[in-house]
Structure 1
Amino acid sequence: MRKSLLCLLIIAVYTASAVPVTSEYSEDRTYPRYIEFPDGEGKMHTVDLEAEPDMELLNEIERNPANNLYLLYTRRNPRNSQTLVINNANSIRNSNFNAAHPTVVVAHGWLSNQNTNINPTIRDAYLNKAETNVIILDWRRLALSDYATAARGVPAVGRGLGQFLAFLNSVTGQAFTSMHLVGFSLGAHLVGNAGRELGGRAARVTALDPAGPLWNYNSNRVNPRDGVYVEAIHTDGGYTIGGLGIGSNVANADFYPNGGISQPGCLTNLCNHNRAWELFAATVTYNHLVGRLCTSQTQLTWNTCRGAQLRMGNDDLRKTGSGMYRLDTGRRYPY
């Protein structure tokens, strides 16, 4: 009897971790002053959301967007990057950048860098599929600061990325409609600001579980005007359980895998949060995850969406769509 009860308890706990919390999403979500937020290696850090930002660093970031590293990978150099430098045309002309191939830029999140798992995972998904210019943005100069400082400096880094892409356009002639900007967590708001700097001309902006803390009412967060088509993938938006993602619509098309709060096989917010970029990379390879349009938050929560279908993620530069979508995934790659 005891063994049976234990088995039922384990099943119940596991099921609860994989089934969305039946709560509505809310713009009114408030965070406590101190929260736990992960770095790029999965270590949790205590964050003071009311901390005084480092104004000296912020002023430097504002003055000099060239602090960012732009690392190019192509099928000719799939593992060893080439550094592209803003306002240095030879750094681009002497690289393997090919304006005939699409360009995807990947921006990591807080306390991360070029070696964080998101970057090689998405890079390899693209290069294994087709000829692509993959540019990894390493913005560690700001990302390694405290969260309050990093969040406040994200718009300046985003503008710097936009200026770099404008320079790339002027040197190579590549159209902005051949560019796809992808960012995770704080990086999602960063690429939104880069797209804004370009006047919304980039073909696509993809926001992977955009960060929630300090962003709910922030006018600099990613928005539908940041690109020709802006898409968000929400995987950890539960405001009642300390979700790390923003958990509300921010794009033309907002996807909520498994309801957008808790992901199958995940027992922590960190796992839920990271699942956004894992799912995206899988869709670049397989283009297999299809959402259903939802007409209300209730439909989204209770998995009763029956509207039009739209594929989540992928590398289609001509993709269009709008609305809020629900889909269910598996526990393991490719989900």
Structure 2
Amino acid sequence: MRLIFLVALSFTAYVTAVPMLQEETTYPRFIEFPDGDGVMHTVDLEAEPDMKLLEEINRNPANNRYLLYTRRNRRNAQTLVINNANSVTSSHFNGRVPTVVVVHGWLSNQKSSLNDVIRDAYLAKSDVNVIIMEWRRLATSDYATAVRGVPAVGRGLGQFLAFLNRVAGAPYNTMHLIGFSLGAHLVGNAGREIGGRAARVTGLDPAGPLWSNNSNRLRASDGVYVEGIHTDGGTAGLGIGAACGNADFFPNGGKSQPGCGTGICDHNRSWELFAATVTYNHLVGVRCNNMNQVNSNSCSGSRLNMGNDILNKSGSGLYRLNTGRRHPF
């Protein structure tokens, strides 16, 4: 009887110590999902994907644009082309400073607001290479097709990073990959392609629909340090709402954000918060034992700053923080 009691006590302690993940959302067949301009589109999650496009993407995953910005060209992009060494050596790319890659989401492109906001925050803060990846060819397809093509496009980005490493000597341990929504899973696959060697991978409200049980979604092994920032993970939210990195932050509980009245606003708040932390490094999460504590705002563990631009950042677990209604939050 004493042995049974001790086993039961040990099991209880184990369960209490292990963070519980939030139950992932079950989506209806038809949902509303925004494009990069905030315009809503009806998505059929059971639609037949465009197999012809997927076959093309798989044959040529490098069919993307890589637009370089530095302090020497803050507004006028230089195009880097994979396997074209001259496009790199004749540009302002500097392999001796950190490289930040920003990846947009579905139905978006290089002109999406998050690209400019994150780029400007980084270049105002430090001397870095900022590369905006545009994957318009796949991103402008229907959602079901785009989801299925993300792994191939992510591999293409990973191959591009390996190319930069070879041609310009850019170390993997100075690379930070940042993806929003569908782009969050894309940068996860890119990190996987280079063996999880990127210093940081950040998922900004990783997309939820068709990703709950998807083995190609963002995960903790995709980089040396993988961080998720979840802002719209409620019922039928656009974000996945469940932990997917080494450390996962749930601002204001991770379901809805102060100052927002729509799911689009909640979803976009992830990159707005992140950009603000690059500038100020001021948003601090408190570690939680489980999602019940996240939801009830009753966390009392150690503290970890959310976001920021620190390359050697480390941490693990679930974190809750509360923010303001407007920038810098």
**Would you call these one fold, judging by a TM-score over 0.5?**
yes
| Equivalent of residue 325 in structure 2, options 325, 328, 331 | 331
- Asked if structure 2 preserves the Cα contact closer than 8 Å seen for 1:31 and 1:213, the reply is yes
Q: Is 1:266 aligned to 2:260, yes or no?
A: yes
**Deviation, structure 1 residue 128:** 0.6
Provide the residue aligned with 1:252 in structure 2. Answer: 246
For residues 49-87 of structure 1, the C-alpha deviation after alignment (integer angstroms, 9 at most, x for no partner) is: 000000111111111122100000000000000000000
Provide the residue aligned with 2:203 in structure 1. Answer: 207
**Deviation, structure 1 residue 296:** 1.5
- Asked if structure 2 preserves the Cα contact closer than 8 Å seen for 1:27 and 1:216, the reply is no
Q: Is 1:165 aligned to 2:161, yes or no?
A: yes
CA RMSD after TM alignment:
0.9
Provide the residue aligned with 2:94 in structure 1. Answer: 98
| Equivalent of residue 35 in structure 1, options 24, 28, 31 | 31
For residues 151-186 of structure 1, the C-alpha deviation after alignment (integer angstroms, 9 at most, x for no partner) is: 110010000000000000000111100000000000
Provide the residue aligned with 1:186 in structure 2. Answer: 182
SS in 2 for 1:105: strand
Provide the residue aligned with 2:283 in structure 1. Answer: 289
Q: Distance in 1 between matches of 2:22 and 2:248?
A: 15
**Deviation, structure 1 residue 298:** 1.3
Q: Is 1:133 aligned to 2:126, yes or no?
A: no
**Deviation, structure 1 residue 28:** 4.6
Q: Distance in 1 between matches of 2:211 and 2:178?
A: 18
How does the TM-score come out when normalised to structure 1? 0.91
- Asked if structure 2 preserves the Cα contact closer than 8 Å seen for 1:25 and 1:247, the reply is no
> Given residue 79 of structure 2, which amino acid in structure 1 is its aligned partner?
T
Q: Distance in 2 between matches of 1:290 and 1:71?
A: 32
Provide the residue aligned with 1:108 in structure 2. Answer: 104
Structure 2: give runs of 5+ residues left out of the alignment: 1-19
Relative to structure 1, the CA distance from residue 96 to residue 299 in structure 2 (aligned partners, 3 Å threshold; closer, same or farther) is: same
**Deviation, structure 1 residue 26:** 4.1
Matches within 5 A, 1:39-118: 39-118=35-114
Provide the residue aligned with 2:5 in structure 1. Answer: none
Q: Distance in 1 between matches of 2:23 and 2:76?
A: 43
**Deviation, structure 1 residue 100:** 1.2
SS in 1 for 2:221: coil
Structure 1: give runs of 5+ residues left out of the alignment: 1-23
> Given residue 244 of structure 1, which amino acid in structure 2 is its aligned partner?
L
Relative to structure 1, the CA distance from residue 272 to residue 25 in structure 2 (aligned partners, 3 Å threshold; closer, same or farther) is: farther
Q: Distance in 1 between matches of 2:211 and 2:230?
A: 14
- Asked if structure 1 preserves the Cα contact closer than 8 Å seen for 2:21 and 2:243, the reply is no
How does the TM-score come out when normalised to structure 2? 0.93
- Asked if structure 2 preserves the Cα contact closer than 8 Å seen for 1:224 and 1:252, the reply is yes
> Given residue 39 of structure 2, which amino acid in structure 1 is its aligned partner?
K
Q: Distance in 1 between matches of 2:214 and 2:68?
A: 31
For residues 288-319 of structure 1, the C-alpha deviation after alignment (integer angstroms, 9 at most, x for no partner) is: 00000000111111101010000000000000
**Deviation, structure 1 residue 25:** 6.9
SS in 1 for 2:95: coil
SS in 2 for 1:73: strand
- Asked if structure 1 preserves the Cα contact closer than 8 Å seen for 2:22 and 2:243, the reply is no
SS in 2 for 1:50: coil
Q: Distance in 1 between matches of 2:62 and 2:197?
A: 22
For residues 246-270 of structure 1, the C-alpha deviation after alignment (integer angstroms, 9 at most, x for no partner) is: 0001000000000000100001100
Q: Distance in 1 between matches of 2:162 and 2:21?
A: 37
SS in 2 for 1:67: coil
- Asked if structure 1 preserves the Cα contact closer than 8 Å seen for 2:25 and 2:241, the reply is no
SS in 2 for 1:66: coil
Relative to structure 1, the CA distance from residue 260 to residue 283 in structure 2 (aligned partners, 3 Å threshold; closer, same or farther) is: same
SS in 2 for 1:225: helix
- Asked if structure 2 preserves the Cα contact closer than 8 Å seen for 1:39 and 1:45, the reply is yes
Q: Distance in 1 between matches of 2:105 and 2:307?
A: 19
Matches within 5 A, 1:211-250: 211-239=207-235, 242-250=236-244
For residues 97-127 of structure 1, the C-alpha deviation after alignment (integer angstroms, 9 at most, x for no partner) is: 0011100000000000000001000000000
